[in-house]
């Protein structure tokens, strides 16, 4: 069974701290996506990682992909309250027709 | 603004009623998708359409039907709604199955079946 597992599922951080969200997946894939969802809103694309070793950064967020370990990380640097949201990773299994398989999401709360 | 438009945004149905969720995109994307989002479950694929004229089942298709009316529009129909179909439904589109840019999501439809 194809699985995409995120951990932690809930994360409470203080402003200014660093933390990493992990996304493990069980199938062969060289494409991984990170999305952000604010409460009651739709999903917004954050990062598209299309090859082994890919690293992308936007502001305080940095995402990386290790296809051999089947692992992606989303690193948060010096968290601020505006980063509070739910973050989803999604995998495009090799050979699929682009049907992304989503993790359950990590709900991040950044407190002053 | 270019994007994915879903209607309605909110709907309450009685058990056994039917309804169609509408989705349209104006980005000339080939592929379109319907997902449902339930608390603690992430997003699960209901149906997808890799290109105009084709549709296929996803992970949770039971109780749903879809129509790819043309390249722009992809509708989801509930023939006989059940409380288990209470969920938030998202339509998404992508340029092609290679997913170079990932999905663009609509704003969602919050459906309650009582």
Q: Which residue of A has its CA nearest to B6?
A: A42
DSSP state letters, B24-65: EE-S--SEEEEEEEETTTEEEEEEEESSTT--EE-S--TTEE
Indicate the helix (H) or strand (E) that contains A21: strand A19-25
Please report, for chain A, how many H helices and E strands are present, in that order. Answer: 0, 11
Confidence category of residue B102, pLDDT binned at 50, 70, 90: confident
- Going by C-alpha positions, the residue among B55, B45, B56, B49 that lies closest to residue B87 is B45
CB contact under 8 A, B50 and A45: no
Residue B97: its pLDDT value, please? 61
- pLDDT exceeding 90 applies to what percent of chain A? 79
For chain A, give the mean pLDDT. 93
CB contact under 8 A, B90 and A42: yes
The SS3 assignment for B3 reads: coil
Residues in B closer than 8 angstroms to A96, CB to CB, are 97
Mean pLDDT of A64-86: 96
More confident residue, B40 or B22: B22
Residue B99: its pLDDT value, please? 65
Residue A28: its pLDDT value, please? 84
Tally of CB atoms within 10 A around B85? 19
Mean pLDDT of B20-36: 95
Residues in B closer than 8 angstroms to A41, CB to CB, are 107-108
More confident residue, A48 or B102: A48
Q: Which residue of B has its CA nearest to A32?
A: B102
Residue A112: its pLDDT value, please? 85
pLDDT tens-digit map of B42-101? 899 999 998 899 999 999 999 999 999 899 999 999 999 999 999 999 999 998 766 677
pLDDT tens-digit map of A19-33? 999 999 998 887 899
Tokens of A94: 């090799």
């Amino acid at each position: 069974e194809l699985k995409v597992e995120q951990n932690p599922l809930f994360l409470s951080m203080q402003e200014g701290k660093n933390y990493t969200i992990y996304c493990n997946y069980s199938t062969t894939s060289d494409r991984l996506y990170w999305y952000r969802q604010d409460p009651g809103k739709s999903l917004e694309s954050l990062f598209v990682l299309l090859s082994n070793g890919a690293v992308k950064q936007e502001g305080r967020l940095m995402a990386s992909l290790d296809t051999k370990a089947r692992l992606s990380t989303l690193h948060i640097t010096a968290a601020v309250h505006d980063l509070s949201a739910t973050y989803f990773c999604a995998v495009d299994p090799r050979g699929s027709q682009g049907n992304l398989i989503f993790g359950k999401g990590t709900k991040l709360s950044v407190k002053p | 603004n270019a994007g994915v438009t879903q209607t309605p945004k909110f709907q309450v149905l009685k058990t056994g009623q039917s309804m169609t969720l509408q989705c349209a995109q104006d980005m000339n994307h080939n592929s379109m998708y319907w997902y449902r989002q339930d608390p603690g479950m992430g997003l699960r694929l209901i149906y997808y359409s890799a290109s105009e004229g084709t549709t296929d089942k996803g992970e949770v298709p039971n109780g749903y039907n879809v129509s790819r009316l043309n390249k722009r529009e992809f509708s989801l129909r509930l023939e006989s709604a059940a409380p288990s179909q209470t969920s938030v439904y998202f339509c998404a589109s992508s340029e092609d199955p290679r997913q170079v840019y990932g999905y663009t999501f609509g704003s969602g439809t919050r459906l309650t079946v009582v």
